[in-house]
Structure 1
Amino acid sequence: MRNKELLVEVQDLSVDGSEELLSVSHLTGVGPRSDKNVTMTAAESLDGYRVVEPGDLVINTMWAWMGALGITKQTGIVSPAYGVYRSRPAAPFEPRFYDYLYRSPTYVMEMTRVSRGIWSSRLRIYPEVFLRMAVPVPTLDEQIAIADYLDRETARIDTLIEEQQQLIELLCERRATAIAQAATQGIDHAPLIESGNAFLGAVPAHWIVSRFSREMEVNGGQVDPRDYPWVDMVLVAPNHIEAGTGRIIGRESAREQGADSGKYVAKAGQILYSKIRPALNKVTLATEDCLTSADMYAMSSRHGDDHRYLMYFLLARPFHTFATLTSLRVKMPKINREELGEAPFLRPPTEEQRRIAAYLDNQTAKLDVLITETERFIELARERRSALITAAVTGQIDVRGAA
């Protein structure tokens, strides 16, 4: 059938905007906006928003190509830019079945094909186009059987995915703990004494406890990234560094990034540290001579310390906590040079720094392998979930009688 034989567009408007505000996600469908990670600012007034009822289909007109649509399970209001459709009386329409079907990759792909727009990221599906689209219509009994089957099977997969996500959180916490312990207490089990700093706590008695400004030198002087030779140098910004791991993500030159404001020059091997919140746990070592954005510091040890150890020290929870709390005390969400200079600093003997860095390289590598394997398992489970839904709603598997 055509969608228009099952559904009709409704435009019931809220009188005062007092109903619960709902949002649409390509990941979770329709639900309360308060439960979703929405970064866009809400409108000051919700008067004139569209009222939706349980069983209505809600489509984010601009993001349907990403699968941002679904059947709502509750009464609420949605943006007037959304499309709202309600089943016709006596139409063979089981909301759960069509929630699976409309959000399936196959149907989302078809909606993308018929959407209109100049750019792929700005495609829109208009009501008249959506209502003309064809849609499979099993008998109502079959729709219910398929929805029951998918409810059971997807719940099992979702539980498995959640368990694996919890495992990743545990592994990441173990990684952070290993870094914090080794970078602030060492691995040689030396006698500990109180450092005199609330963040550092007890430290090995033979380590030097100092201030950041006494131990580290921060690069100064900006260059124009549009000039030669800077324009062809790699430009590192906070978004190129993976939080908490020190890994660099991607490699693009200043020219490729269209950089046009002042940047800092960093030498290979220098420490690159993000100074903006919430990216204060983004630290890495420059793998080559490069530029850094104005949101980063490029720095070196004044005493020839092992930079890999220093990277781990800056990643350690005590230092990150200090930087975060310090940045909260200023208007701009960042830590400036003066505040960074007051940060507590630990300097073990150089050879011990190397042993700590090698130890953490080994420990974090093992944990990273486990994290990667778990992430791959989750990816495969999601692919299995998607394939199962597509097969069920398109009749490729017969679920009648399935337990």
Structure 2
Amino acid sequence: MAKYEQYAEYKDSGIEWLGDIPKDWQIKRLKYLCKINTGTKDTINAIEDGIYPFFVRSQTVERINSYGADCEAVLTAGDGVGVGKVYHYINGKFDYHQRVYMLSEFNQITGRFLYYYLSSNFYKVALQGNAKSTVDSLRLPQFLNFEFSLPSLEEQPLIVSYLDHETAQIDTLIEKQQTLIQLLKEKRQAVISHAVTKGLNPDAPLKDSGVEWLGGVPEHWEIGRLKNVLRIRNGRDYKEVEVESGGYPVYGSGGIFKRSSDYLFDGESVLFGRKGTVDKPLLVSGKFWTVDTMFYSEVFSNAKPNYIYHQALLFPFDQLSTNTALPSMTQENLLELGFVIPSFDEQEQICQYLSDKLKVFSNLVSKAEQAIQLMQERRTALISAAVTGKIDVRGWVEHDGIN
């Protein structure tokens, strides 16, 4: 922030995290700046194509056909993972969750300035004295007594205009990086699909596999079923073997989440979800345990687990899972799935090719994610500096590009 101008004179705010503030600014507690209410609705009241915005405890704004307020407001989560992180600004008709706080009827502060101030500064204060890196619920007394550094009502719109412009510029750059990540992931999937169903020789003649999702495959490849390359085993409940540390990894659909004193299998294996998340196979190796809602596999000598895993990423899991509230999949349906089997040597070549290619995609995605993180940090720091008077933006003039 060194290139930005500062105010001519500062004074000690008396607040440790805030430090010095411009001489003419005041310190006010939140409870003197607005009224705070909670909603009356629950998440189940959301309607997919509802008329009005419905603010819940996440960054996602739902829809609803009723409105509980028609005003300018700032909304924030009262509990859950969004505490201190999720903020919304609106001016119009909307409804809100019973554990969402609505801040309205602003006094000595504009709604947009309050929105920017809270979204960039409150979370660090909410974490004070908390051993965890997250806050489970919003303590209302702490929230009401949160202190603001306030410029005059004439100056606040200047700061807000500056932040509206600059954050929009940063948000545009972030969106471009997010689009790039999505395109890279789609390209990655296409590379995997082509390699495991068409092979590496572009001149190889193809034949109809007879399997809709596989399409044409090289003539010399064998067409079989998943049961021709592996055996499925059921996972087991881990609670009797659970340990705090050491031992062996326990796998669920999201990866390792516990440790165990025993193991079910030792070697390379492809894991499949049996209940819940059934569309995200995992490739693992070594000694491990799987939960009872997972299948693990014993791969036959005619196939490489790595190759099976990459072909499994293409499986039509939506056709295999039962149409229930909790998706589930049977061994029988999984094992009867069509599967294309190249020679073992070709499988090795395909796996090596994918290893090299996917490293490139992973590096590009990682760079884009790092760029997004830096821009988000820059955005938060810029907002905080402007609303706490660390930089003077009163002389700002709109122009293209980010200051």
Q: Distance in 2 between matches of 1:80 and 1:223?
A: 37
Task: State whether structure 2 residue 85 is matched by structure 1 residue 58.
Answer: no
Q: Distance in 2 between matches of 1:223 and 1:9?
A: 46
Task: State whether structure 2 residue 51 is matched by structure 1 residue 34.
Answer: no
Q: Which residue of 2 aligns with 1:152?
A: 165
State the shift of 1:199 in Å: 1.7
Equivalent position to 1:100, from 116, 133, 137: 116
State the shift of 1:102 in Å: 1.3
Q: Distance in 2 between matches of 1:227 and 1:95?
A: 54
Q: Distance in 2 between matches of 1:305 and 1:13?
A: 57
Q: Which residue of 2 aligns with 1:341?
A: 335
Q: Which residue of 1 aligns with 2:17?
A: none
SS of corresponding position for 2:68 = strand
Q: How does 1:127-142 map to 2 (within 5 A)?
A: 129-142=142-155
RMSD: 3.4
State the shift of 1:310 in Å: 1.4
Deviations along 1:317-354, whole A, 9 cap, x unmatched? 2x2x2x22121456751221110121001110111110
Are 1:25 and 1:69, in contact at CA under 8 Å, matched by a contact in 2? Answer: no
Q: Which residue of 2 aligns with 1:351?
A: 345
Q: Which residue of 2 aligns with 1:192?
A: 206
Q: Which residue of 1 aligns with 2:233?
A: 219
Q: Which residue of 2 aligns with 1:268?
A: 267
Q: Percent identity at matched positions?
A: 26
Task: State whether structure 2 residue 108 is matched by structure 1 residue 76.
Answer: no
Task: State whether structure 2 residue 372 is matched by structure 1 residue 378.
Answer: yes
Deviations along 1:282-307, whole A, 9 cap, x unmatched? 321x2211111122222133343222
Closer/same/farther in 2, CA of residues 141 and 167 from structure 1, 3 Å limit: same
State the shift of 1:78 in Å: 1.9
Closer/same/farther in 2, CA of residues 153 and 26 from structure 1, 3 Å limit: farther
Closer/same/farther in 2, CA of residues 392 and 291 from structure 1, 3 Å limit: same
Q: Distance in 1 between matches of 2:242 and 2:311?
A: 35
Task: State whether structure 2 residue 259 is matched by structure 1 residue 253.
Answer: yes
Q: Distance in 1 between matches of 2:289 and 2:172?
A: 44
Q: Which residue of 2 aligns with 1:85?
A: 103
Q: Distance in 2 between matches of 1:212 and 1:219?
A: 14
Equivalent position to 1:201, from 198, 204, 215: 215
Task: State whether structure 2 residue 34 is matched by structure 1 residue 7.
Answer: yes
Q: Distance in 2 between matches of 1:223 and 1:99?
A: 47
State the shift of 1:228 in Å: 9.6
Are 2:74 and 2:90, in contact at CA under 8 Å, matched by a contact in 1? Answer: yes
Equivalent position to 2:382, from 383, 388, 403: 388
SS of corresponding position for 1:140 = coil
The farther-off stretch of 268-277 and 368-377 is 268-277
Provide the TM-score with structure 2 as the length reference: 0.79
Are 2:122 and 2:146, in contact at CA under 8 Å, matched by a contact in 1? Answer: no
Task: State whether structure 2 residue 85 is matched by structure 1 residue 67.
Answer: yes
Q: Which residue of 2 aligns with 1:399?
A: 393
Aligned length, in residue pairs? 360
Are 1:51 and 1:75, in contact at CA under 8 Å, matched by a contact in 2? Answer: yes
Are 1:238 and 1:296, in contact at CA under 8 Å, matched by a contact in 2? Answer: yes
Amino acid at match of 2:357: Q
Gaps of 5+ in 1: 36-44, 241-249, 256-262
Task: State whether structure 2 residue 229 is matched by structure 1 residue 235.
Answer: no
State the shift of 1:200 in Å: 1.2
Amino acid at match of 1:54: C
SS of corresponding position for 1:34 = strand
Q: Distance in 2 between matches of 1:94 and 1:203?
A: 64
Equivalent position to 1:364, from 358, 375, 379: 358
Q: Distance in 2 between matches of 1:76 and 1:294?
A: 43
State the shift of 1:226 in Å: 2.1
State the shift of 1:2 in Å: 2.7
Q: Distance in 2 between matches of 1:340 and 1:23?
A: 40
